[in-house]
Structures are given as C-alpha cells and as structure tokens.
Structure 1
Amino acid sequence: MENSVTPTHCPYCALQCGMNLTPTPDGTVEVSERTDFPVNRGALCGKGRTAPAVLASSVRLTTPLVRSAGTLVPATWDEALDRIAEGLSRTRTEHGPDACGVFGGGGLTNEKAYTLGKFARVVLGTSQIDYNGRFCMSSAAAAGIKAFGLDRGLPFPLEDIPRTGCVILVGSNLAETMPPSLRFFSELRENGGTLIVIDPRRTRTAEQADLHLAPRPGTDLALALGLLHLIVAEGRVDEAYVAERTVGWEDARAAAMAHWPEYVERITGVSVPQLRETVRMFCEPENAMVLTARGPEQQSKGTDTVGAWINLCLATGRAGRPLSGYGCLTGQGNGQGGREHGQKADQLPGYRKLDDPAARRHVAEVWGVDPDSLPGPGRSAYELLDALGTDIRSLLLMASNPVVSAPRAAHIEERLRSLDFLAVCDVVLSETAELADVVLPVTQWAEETGTTTNLEGRVLLRRQAITPPENIRSDLRVMHELAARLGVEKGFPTDPEEVFEELRRASAGGPADYSGITYRRLVEENGVFWPCPATDGDSSGNGDGAGSGGASPDAGASPDAVGASPDAGAAPMRTPGSGDAAPGDDALDGPHPGTPRLFLDRFATPDGRARFVAVSHRAIAEEPDDEYPVLLTTGRVVAQYQSGAQTRRVDELNAAAPGPFVELHPRLAERLGAAEGDPVAVVSRRGRAVAPARITTTIRPDTVFMPFHWPGEGRANTLTNPALDPTSRMPEFKACAVRLEAVES
C-alpha cells in the first residue's frame, strides 16, 4: 500500500470526486487524476488538489489534549479516554442518560456514523444525538419523503443531466461549491438544452445560465407557486400523468391559483415576463429537471418551498420518468449516508424511523439489545446545541465545528462554554475543539478505509493509502475504547469492513437498504446505488480488493433504466423484467445491480403514487423593518469549505480566499458611504460582524451576502436566525434582517 497508487475519493463535498493517491516521503500523499470515476472524470477543484496539506503534522492534531488549569495540554490516550469516560459516566449518574449529548458530522464515513448512533443509544442510552447534516438538506429530505415516500438526494445519476431538455437550478452556486459538476450543465447546453438559475446574486453559475432569475431572499416558495399558477393557466399540466401517478392535485392546484403572476412579482421582484419565459423554457422540452440546494432549503419554510418545486415537476409529468425529475444537491461529503444510518435524532440505520416498533425490533436484534432499551427521538441539531449547559450537561462531538457553523453562533459558543464536560474528536484544533475538556486526534480520509454515499445515492469506498502517524487513532477505535470503559465490551469493532457488514444487516429491508453491497462490489463496480437489497445470488465477499490499486470499471455504464417496484409502503426495489439488469443477465440470479434511477415504475408510497402537497407563500421569520432594513444571505466561496476548519489551514486556499467580506450593491454602498475594501459592520438582532466591503452589481440592492467560513469578528453566523422549519427543523440561514454601519478603519 505504501508504495502503490490507491484509487479513492476526495474528503470534501458530496460529489466525492475520484482521485488517485501516491505516498510521498514526508508521510503524506500526492494527488493525481483518476479518470475512470464518472462524476468528475479526473477533474478536481482546488480543495481536492490540496487536501493532502491537512495530513501534515504541522497542521493537524498529533496527540490527545486535556484541559489542565484552563489550558489544553498533551496527554496519553489512556488519560484522555479515561477522562471522557468519567465525564460521561458522571453526567449519566447525576442527571440521567439524556443529559449526555452526541453531535456528529456529515463528513463521517457510513461506518463511523452508524457506530456513533449505536454508541449514543446503546452505550449512553441517550436520545440526544443529531449532526450538522441537519443544516444541509433536511428540508429537501422532508419534502421528498412527503411527496415520493423516500429521500435520496438525486434519484438519478449526474450523467442524466446533459441529456434532459431544461434544468431549473434553485439556490445553488455549483461553480463555487462543486466546480467539477459544472461540466454536466455545460454539456446540457452544448446538447441544446437550457439552464435556468434562480439566485439573488449573479454568481459564476448564473453567468452560465440561459436565464437568471434574482428573487428577493426567502421568496422561492412564492416563485414556485407563481410558476405553477402559469402552468395551469396556460394549459401545460400533464393531466394523464397527474391522474395516473399522483394524488392531491386539486388542493395543490387551488393553493397555486391564489398566487397570480402580478402578486408573485410584487413578492419576489421577478417580473411577469420572466415568469412566463421560465414556464415556456421548462415545459416545451420533452424532459426537464428541477434541482434545489441550500438557497430554498435553509429557510424556516424550506420543506414547503421544496414541496412547491416538486409540485411543479409532478404537474408537468417530470418525476419518475427517464431524464426528468426533482433532485437535491447534497452539500457535505457524506451528508446522505450520515443521516441514513443513525446520526439523525429520529432515525435508525437503513433510514428507519426511531418511533416505528418494527424498525426498533429489527435494529435491536442486530445490536443484541432489548427494543425497549432504545431511547426515542431526541432534539434536532440546533435545539440540541441550544440545550447545552441546561438539560444537556456533557457532549461528545465528532467532526463538526458549530462555533463557526451554527446559526446564532455567539449564543451556541456560550452554550458550549457552559457545559460540565465537552469532548471533541477531530483532525485539527477547530474553534470548537479549543473549548473542549478533552480533544482526541483521529485519522483522516487517506489514512483509513470506509464508505461514503454521494449526492447521487452512489455508495463508494474510500481506501486507505498511507499509515496514520503513530499517536493517531480512528474514530472507530475511540468508540470501541469508550464503550469498553463504559461497560459495553462487545459490539463496537474497530475494523471498518466488519462494521459495514453489521450495517448491511441493520439496513436490510429499510428504505436505504445496503444489504446487497459489499466492499468487494464497491471496488469492482466503482460504487453501487442504493437501494440494493441482498438476493439469493449475493455472496458476502471478503473485501480483499479494498486496498488494491488499478482502474475500476466506469460506474457510468449502469443500465439506462432501473425500475422501482416495491411492496406497498416499502422502498423502491428491483423487479424482474423492469430493465434494471444488463442485457442478457437473469435478474433473478445474480446480485441486485443497485438502483441508479428511482421511481420509474412507481413511487415509494403505499399506493405507488406521488403526493402533491398543498402549500402557500408565507413570509420569512424576520422581515426587514426600519431598524434592520436590509436582507442578509450567506453562502460559500470556491476556495473554502464549510466552517473552514481544514481549508483555512492550507496556504494555497487562503491565498485565494484570505478572509470574510460583505458583498453589497453600489447603491447600498453609496448610501453607507463605503468604498471597496472599507470595513463594514453588519448588525442583526443576534450580534454584529465586521468585514471588508466587496462592491458589485451582481447582487440585489436590498441584499447583502457574507460567506460563512471564518470565525471571529467576521463570523457570518453570529448574525443568522435560528428560526426553525416546523417539519425539518432546519434553521433559516438564508434570510434575516440586518442593518449596515460604517466602521472607522
């Protein structure tokens, strides 16, 4: 392994781009192209190319740290693990198991996410577990389950995008957040298709569009309803599809008809001619797609907003058909798999519901525990963080940095400081880790093997390329050691493939069924799409290809049409003759091929029909007023990632994006008296942030934008509003009222 080329995947976003790693003399790795992986075909963004920089000992944590006399000092592993076990045990004894909280991350592999959920519920007995993926695509997940009976980011591979006729991209700046994916949209246009981008800023992605709509932040729901109104009024509804494959149309239609075009123009700022042109471009081709991202989802009405865009697809017959559909562009590297297998407050492995007695029995049997011993659903991510120091007295946190990433971040920082005990597992000393009583240094992507699930629902194998430093341990070993110290000697293996074999059994029969997937298949097939149930033709495999090099087959060679014919209420499964096996294969014999394309036969609902959900526009939680007259929206820049805990340690990335800024329109800058580069204070009801002005005509005059990657004075999430969506519990990151103040430099 140390001298060979290892094909693996990038540690950052949900594209999970393929890359090859070659060990270097300094103990890190060199990245090179891996052209066989269909998602990126060798292309990498700057973050992927520079990912090895975080492996350097000068950047990362190299030893456990414990707090002594107010300062973090080096410690042995036994001392650090004993301290964590004592802290958690003391909290359970004095305050009960629910006083122990667990907070995970969307960057954890499936094996780690699965084990963390099991650790919380079996070892600690706590219901208080959630993860930062709640801040990613939870609104789209909730809307997808309501409409389709199943949530998977994209129900089709990315390779389908260039072959459709029109894509509406809502609230996504792929050119900066997932640069290698932009080629699918360039190919779409080269093939004669059209791209519509909806974003209050004219981003690099919007520059590529045939039509750019710039609605007022927080009005995406009204925009979708106005488009559906026009589709009805212009006679563009696919009546046969609606009658055959959906229910609930009349109520959804009535709700949309209350949003006439002129009314929607007043709400959104998008003109009626633009609304009509959008409808024409979307409806005229035979096939079309709507893709949403954080823009419409990170709102206190995000579930309804995504539901309205899904209604648009259903009314025009653009869901559950080849080269058409609705999809969500998951952000975090394993945001999809992270919630499928137990980090989320209300879910068990396999995307089972924690309050479902049958689900509890199944998972409890795999775990060897009494179903009644499993706690019920707990708090969502922000609610869990908000309860720190009061109901929750100790916290075990893995792979997350809420001091920077959580809304109302100054308040969350105070909550973290008020804990009786905080333990953090991470690869770097993040702003959150700096507050901890114990910090454990853990292995990174290139130093360990494990699976992730990308935005397409493609389960992938990240392979170990180098041996980790001597004093670094894996998260799996950490949980094994802590479980033993807390009285659970068995059930927490340290070998990732052994964990995955258990995950297969736990997920079997659930909506996210991985039971037919093995490490060997992931190597040989370059990823497998779930659901992939076990069949009589499966062999478990010994995974002996997990560390091997060489090229893998192109997963893009998957069949063009995979059906979904589940039993009533079950997740979509393969049926013989549905076209999901390669020509000449007997679909009854070999292993299940996986499911690249969902819903082609039926939806994952008891009657197989999709559900329209009647929704109506409502205002954001905090509209501008005389005191706070401007809207703030937040997002990312191409050279940084999420809270920046890792990317801010890479010189090349910092040179490209050295710090925060406030993007504002020239008219707004003129009223403020601010010039390019002048410090500007942005003030909300929750706090104040200061950053240099970046003046541009590519943003609405009533809106300012801040990236959220930095801590300190320019921390954008000091300002953001934790108002929660009633269904998904997603905070309203994307719109809050602020005022601007000039700052003397």
Structure 2
Amino acid sequence: METTSTPTHCPYCALQCGMNLSPTPEGGVEVTERVDFPVNRGALCGKGRTAPAVLSSRVRLTSPLVRSRGTLVPATWDEALDRIAGELGAIRAEHGPDALGVFGGGGLTNEKAYTLGKFARVVLGTSQIDYNGRFCMSSAAAGGIKAFGLDRGLPFPLEDIPKTGCVILVGSNLAETMPPALRFFSELRENGGTLIVVDPRRTRTAEQADLHLMPRPGTDLALALGLLHLVVAEGRVDEEYVRERTSGWEEARAAAMAHWPEHVERITGVSVPQLREAVRMFCEPEAAMVLTARGPEQQSKGTDTVGAWINLCLATGRAGRPLSGYGCLTGQGNGQGGREHGQKADQLPGYRKLDDPAARRHVAEVWGVDPDSLPGPGRSAYELLDALGTDIRSLLLMASNPVVSAPRAAHIEERLKSLDFLAVCDVVLSETAALADVVLPVTQWAEETGTMTSLEGRVLLRRRAITPPAGVRSDLEVLHELAARLGVEKGFPTDPEEVFEELRRASAGGPADYSGITYRRLVEENGVFWPCPAPAPEEAGAVGGAGAVGGAVTGAAVDDGGGDDGEDTGFDVIPEDPTRDEAGPAQPGAVLPANVHPGTPRLFLDRFATDDGRARFAPVSHRPAAEEPDEEYPVFLTTGRVVAQYQSGAQTRRVDELNAAAPGPFVELHPRLAARLGAAEGDPLAVVSRRGRAVAPARITTGIRPDTVFMPFHWPGEGRANTLTNPALDPTSRMPEFKVCAVRVEIAGA
C-alpha cells in the first residue's frame, strides 16, 4: 500500500487549515497532523478532522441524475450533459441569454470560480451570474473598497494578531466558526494585549474577552459611532496621521459627534462606562486592530457599519501601520478568491470592475473575444434568486444550497420550483439539488487539485490525494463539455494548472494580481499573498517594488529593525534556512530570485490603494434595522453557526460524529423571556416572523439578551432559521439582513 501522505488544506472555512491526507488500508484517506502550516500548526476542529467521511460513496453522489416523470433517476453523463445543453440552448434561443441564470459558491476553487464566470459570459452570454459569497463578506468588501481602495479580508497575516495591543472583535464567534484561530487571540492576551468582543450573546468567544459588549441587534453602527465620539471628546485622535494619510475627516467627525455616549447607550444598551473602557483599552496601546465578521456585516446597513469601524481605526492611526488595521474574518473556504475572479455579478478576474472599459479590453484579449460581446453587470445574489421563474427561466447552480442558506428561504424554494429548468453540480444531494431537473456528481477537495485564497489573502494549493469514484467528474470537465455542446470548442481546459495560468494573465495588473504566482511557488513557499505581480520585462534582474499595482499598495513585511539584506528593495527578506533540505519545500519568506515578487502579506504600509494614496473616512450615521420589534413581533432574532456544523450543513449533516454533537436546530433564549412564555428547557418553540414560522426546542441561557433569540441556520425543514430572515438589502453591498429581524415566540401547539 502507498504510504506517502499528501499535504493539503481543509475543505471548510477560510482559515484553510493545513492537513496531511494519508492512505488507509481500506483504500480511503485519513487526516493527519501538518505542523508546517502557520495558520493552524497542526490543530484542526472536528469538521476538519472528520472531513474524509464525506468522501464515502455512502453519503455522496456517484452518478448523474435526470428527472423523469417527476423523479430523479440515474443517467449516463452524455444523457445528463445533452439534457442541460439542450435546455439551456432552447431557453436562450426563445428568451435571450439573460433568461439563463448562473449561481456559484464560495467553496469553489479559484480555477472553477474563474471558469464559471467565463462560461456565463462567453458561452451563455448572460449577465445573470452571482454567488453565495455575496451573503458572506460583501459589506466588508464594499466598506474596505470605499475606505482603502481595495478589499482583502485581512490586510495582514493572522500571526500579527498576538503582537498587537488590543483587538476589537465585532460579531464573530470564531471559537465555534473557526476554532483553530482562537489561539491567536489567546496568545494576544498571554502577551499582555486585550480582547474586546462585541456580540449580543455571551458566546464561547466572548467568554475569552477582557471586555464583552452586548449591544441590541442591529445597533453596531451606533456603537462604533459612539466610540469615535469619545475618541474625539477625550482628545485621542491621531491628528498627524489624519492630516497626512486620510481625507474626509471633518464630515465623519461631525457625524460621530451627533452620537454622544448617553444617546448611544439608549440605542445599543451598552453602558457609558463600558463605552469609555472600550475606548481606553483600544487607544492606550501603540497598536490595535478591529476585526468584523457577519454580525455587523449581514445587515441592511452593513457597509456603513463597516465604514464606522474603519473610521475608528483611521481616527486613531490604526490602519496602514505595523500591527494595526481593520480586517474582516471571511467565512467561506474561498469567499475571498471566489469573488476576485469573476463569478460575482459586477466583476471580472483580478477584482476588475465589469463596467470598466479598460478591464473589459484586458480580459477580453485574454479570452480571445470582442470586449463588446461581454455582458454588463447583472443582479446580486438575492435579487437573482428572487427573479427565478420570471425573466430568468433556467439556473445552473454549483456548490450552493440556497433552499437552506438564502434569506426568506421558503420563498426562494418556491422560486427554484418555478423554473423551467434547474441543473445542479454538487457533491451530495442537497435540499436544492433534490429540486433539480439534472444533478451532476462532482469531485471533492481531496479528489482534485486547485487553489484557494484564505482570509489572509494567502493563495494556497489544495492537492489531489485520491482518485474520485467512477462516475464522478470535476466541475472543470462539466464546463468544458457544456461549452463544447453549446458551440465553444476551445478556451475551457480541464487541467486546473492550465486554467490557473490563464487566470494569472487575466488578473495581471488588476487589484487582485496573481500573475507572479505559480503552482510551483505555492508548493515551495506554503502559499503566496496577493497582490503578487509578475515582473515587467524591464524589471528582470531587479526585485519587484513595493509600490502600486492597479492601485493595490503593498508592503511586504513589518520593519522590525532586523537584519539588513543589503540593497534596500522595500522588503525585509528572511535569510534562507541553512537547515532546510534542498529537495523539500522552501520556508515562508525564503530568499527568492531577484526578479520574483515575494507577495504582499501586509497591505497599505506605504500608501492606500486610492487614487491619492489616502484612506477615506465614511460620513455615516446610525439608522434602525429594516425591521424593528413591535407589538406583534416584539423580539429580535439573530442567527449564526455552531461548532459541529458548517453553512447549510449539506456536507457536515452527513457525518455521524458531527451530528451526534449537534443533531438539530434550537432556539436560544434568556430565562426571563422563557418565564414570560412559560417555556422550559427542551420545549418546542415556534418562532414566527412576517415571512414564516420555524419550530425548534428551547435552549435557555443567561448568555443572551432578554430581548433576543438566537437560532443556528444549518438545518432544513421546520427548524429552518432562514425561513424567518429578512431579505432587506444593503444599498451598496446588496447583502441581506440575516442578523436581525423581528419575531414573536410561542410554545408550539399551545
């Protein structure tokens, strides 16, 4: 039996933890420790450790399915592909290309996301493409672009967190959503730093905090503005930094001054002494960070909320400096890379804008098409799903399960059922796939090679460790075959490295420039941070500078006063490790050939990615959530995840060990609310919103606000939390308001 292990990465969240896959005597693989990857150093959560369970033919699809007389039945690949191509072609001929919808996923590799976007625009000619990453960090992306000119989840590596002085963590329960990351915050506190957690629940993460702020759901914007008001009132503004590196301060300052502490206390429920203590903890150290996640971002004012937290960083000089900054904790495995390369409604590869003529010319040249043939921007994710069955008559869906994950999910389920034709590519028969006319079984993480981009902006190589079952094909093969059947014979290779080479050319010169990254480098260097431009011909023999590429301003390392490598290149280069086996992988930061860009672990140290190099303040003011409690619906609902399940649960709900730990949905509520209802632990509770009703057992805890209930969103059926959630959209990011809506709670059947 072959005993060599394959180094790769976890298939779940955006940490992309390193792991080794080793063969088992039964012909499968098991996860073993991989200590060389710096993010997790071998540690894994239960989801990562049990990931091979989903590779089993017992739980996954191994044959195409085609609907016949109302039932999905096994079919050959040719039958299934012919059916999809025939239906798409007929609908396009009758109704036009925009009658064809495409919906992707934040778990697709960069190669697959890139190819899916190209397929939609070149083969189908449709503008109607978006992906479920819109539901992840689109508000943080919009806020980051407004402020800094560039969006990357974290503009610094995770390893910087323990070295800063204070972190404000807003709306993240990373102890359950990405447990291996918690060690960075534990090390922060061990080093004398402090952690402030903002969350309406006392989560496992909040239990680790030096200060826990519990705002009323939907008031994170007011909270951030109140903290900035105190920064101004207490004379803590870094005036020199504001003057030299920012613009728009006076407008933002005026907006913040309208949010005095007592006013913010009334809005948020966070006391004035706590507000003052948070400001003291954040401002006293030399360096500090703000990190946001879905809590403040999944709101109808998420972009403004992110802008307010960025304002706090800018006013105190905590951005674009070593060990300081604003960052977003991306959720999905490739939520970052998935939107950088073209499956988002308004973007082309390299994070280029679809309505930019220069961007269209560049990408069209790489693709060998006329720029005028590329469609314009289409609908955002929820708007696309909401339009199904109207002017969008068919949908090709990859790696997403909106029946469980979309807001107002019962409505979206009905829209999917109203389509003329639905084709789904997935690993398992998800709740959405079960509605399809054709289901194609595709390869999984351990059965294919491809790149992912982590929440740090680190491009990584996941490597094939095992052969997929007979009857299963890759998404790249699916798109190749469909393109050929629809009249495009070339331009859709099935080899992921060939696709990545094209992606490099398409991204060159864009904000997310991957042109200097190769598969070989990803292996040798344990990942490369973008932007990483290829050197121009005239730069051969000189280190790529730390300047701007498409406005993306770099700064490769913190200048810690360490050793001098000679010529001032703009980068601190770590001397090559003399103990490294020459045949083995290079150490991160090892000396590179002189004409190779080292990648960009840390952004904005020299300038921001705006036209003038200055960060922009956001002049924002608090406004209520789209739906506030009233007499009929008097309680807030907020939603989230539990440690043993992931996203819509399509994969993790098929793992026995994970189901034993988290077997089903629940309603978390405070004892005072439970007493008013007459509810006991485990009683079935009905949670009712203006959109529907969900039923799950009560879980009573003092770790939640009395005016709020919480439900995890991993399950379908009567406990589906997203039956209740509000699709009210942020006007900029088009993010739905998952995190706050008004509900009433009743004892089911009473």
- Give the TM-score range, shorter chain: over 0.9
- Match in the other structure for 1:632: 637
Render the CA deviation track for 1:638-679: whole Å, top value 9, x for unaligned.
Answer: 000000000000000000000000000001011111100000
How far apart, CA to CA, are the structure 1 residues paired with 2:535 and 2:377? Answer: 32
Deviation at 1:535, TM superposition (A): 1.3
Deviation at 1:573, TM superposition (A): 4.5
Query: Are the structure 2 counterparts of residues 381 and 721 from structure 1 closer, same or farther at C-alpha, using a change threshold of 3 Å?
Result: same
- Match in the other structure for 1:667: 672
Q: Which runs of 5+ in 1 are unaligned?
A: 541-558
Identity across the alignment (%): 88
Deviation at 1:578, TM superposition (A): 1.9
**What is the aligned counterpart of 2:691 among 686, 692, 695?**
686
Render the CA deviation track for 1:659-706: whole Å, top value 9, x for unaligned.
Answer: 000000001011111100000000000000000000000000000000
Render the CA deviation track for 1:452-492: whole Å, top value 9, x for unaligned.
Answer: 00000000000000011111000000000000000000000
Q: Superposition pairs for residues 104-143 of structure 1, below 5 Å?
A: 104-143=104-143
- Match in the other structure for 1:578: 570
How far apart, CA to CA, are the structure 1 residues paired with 2:117 and 2:383? Answer: 18
Aligned residue pair count: 724
How far apart, CA to CA, are the structure 1 residues paired with 2:168 and 2:538? Answer: 40
Contact 1:722–1:733 (8 Å) recurs in 2: yes
Query: Are the structure 2 counterparts of residues 673 and 507 from structure 1 closer, same or farther at C-alpha, using a change threshold of 3 Å?
Result: same
How far apart, CA to CA, are the structure 2 residues paired with 1:295 and 1:744? Answer: 32
Contact 2:554–2:602 (8 Å) recurs in 1: no
- Match in the other structure for 1:222: 222
Secondary structure of residue in 2 paired with 1:572: strand
Q: Which runs of 5+ in 2 are unaligned?
A: 557-567, 577-589
Deviation at 1:607, TM superposition (A): 0.7
How far apart, CA to CA, are the structure 2 residues paired with 1:686 and 1:538? Answer: 61
How far apart, CA to CA, are the structure 1 residues paired with 2:348 and 2:493? Answer: 19
- CA-based RMSD: 1.7
- Match in the other structure for 1:160: 160
Query: Are the structure 2 counterparts of residues 202 and 151 from structure 1 closer, same or farther at C-alpha, using a change threshold of 3 Å?
Result: same
Q: Which amino acid aligns with 2:570?
A: S
Secondary structure of residue in 1 paired with 2:500: helix
Query: Are the structure 2 counterparts of residues 410 and 260 from structure 1 closer, same or farther at C-alpha, using a change threshold of 3 Å?
Result: same
Deviation at 1:380, TM superposition (A): 0.1
Instruction: State whether structure 2 residue 47 is matched by structure 1 residue 42.
Output: no
Contact 1:563–1:598 (8 Å) recurs in 2: no
- Match in the other structure for 1:69: 69
Q: Superposition pairs for residues 545-556 of structure 1, below 5 Å?
A: none
Deviation at 1:589, TM superposition (A): 2.4
How far apart, CA to CA, are the structure 1 residues paired with 2:186 and 2:174? Answer: 12
Deviation at 1:28, TM superposition (A): 2.4
- Match in the other structure for 2:98: 98
- Match in the other structure for 1:485: 485
Deviation at 1:583, TM superposition (A): 5.7
How far apart, CA to CA, are the structure 1 residues paired with 2:592 and 2:537? Answer: 10
For normalisation by structure 2, the TM-score amounts to 0.95
- Match in the other structure for 1:203: 203
Deviation at 1:590, TM superposition (A): 2.9
Contact 2:555–2:604 (8 Å) recurs in 1: no
Secondary structure of residue in 1 paired with 2:63: coil
Render the CA deviation track for 1:490-548: whole Å, top value 9, x for unaligned.
Answer: 000000000000000000000000000000000000000000000158999xxxxxxxx
Instruction: State whether structure 2 residue 744 is matched by structure 1 residue 739.
Output: yes
Render the CA deviation track for 1:200-239: whole Å, top value 9, x for unaligned.
Answer: 0000000000000000000000000000000000000000
How far apart, CA to CA, are the structure 2 residues paired with 1:6 and 1:538? Answer: 39
Q: Which amino acid aligns with 2:624?
A: A
- Match in the other structure for 1:11: 11
How far apart, CA to CA, are the structure 2 residues paired with 1:112 and 1:155? Answer: 25
Q: Superposition pairs for residues 231-380 of structure 1, below 5 Å?
A: 231-380=231-380
Q: Which amino acid aligns with 1:578?
A: G
Deviation at 1:564, TM superposition (A): 4.8
For normalisation by structure 1, the TM-score amounts to 0.95
How far apart, CA to CA, are the structure 1 residues paired with 2:610 and 2:311? Answer: 16
Q: Which amino acid aligns with 1:196?
A: I
How far apart, CA to CA, are the structure 1 residues paired with 2:322 and 2:414? Answer: 50
How far apart, CA to CA, are the structure 1 residues paired with 2:231 and 2:415? Answer: 48
Query: Are the structure 2 counterparts of residues 708 and 345 from structure 1 closer, same or farther at C-alpha, using a change threshold of 3 Å?
Result: same
Q: Which amino acid aligns with 2:150?
A: L
Contact 2:667–2:697 (8 Å) recurs in 1: yes
Instruction: State whether structure 2 residue 708 is matched by structure 1 residue 703.
Output: yes
**What is the aligned counterpart of 1:589 among 594, 600, 609?**
594
How far apart, CA to CA, are the structure 2 residues paired with 1:21 and 1:153? Answer: 28
Q: Superposition pairs for residues 410-559 of structure 1, below 5 Å?
A: 410-535=410-535
Contact 1:563–1:599 (8 Å) recurs in 2: no
Q: Which amino acid aligns with 1:654?
A: N
How far apart, CA to CA, are the structure 2 residues paired with 1:512 and 1:2? Answer: 39
Contact 1:91–1:394 (8 Å) recurs in 2: yes
Q: Which amino acid aligns with 1:643?
A: S
How far apart, CA to CA, are the structure 2 residues paired with 1:498 and 1:537? Answer: 22
How far apart, CA to CA, are the structure 2 residues paired with 1:538 and 1:688? Answer: 64
How far apart, CA to CA, are the structure 2 residues paired with 1:89 and 1:17? Answer: 41
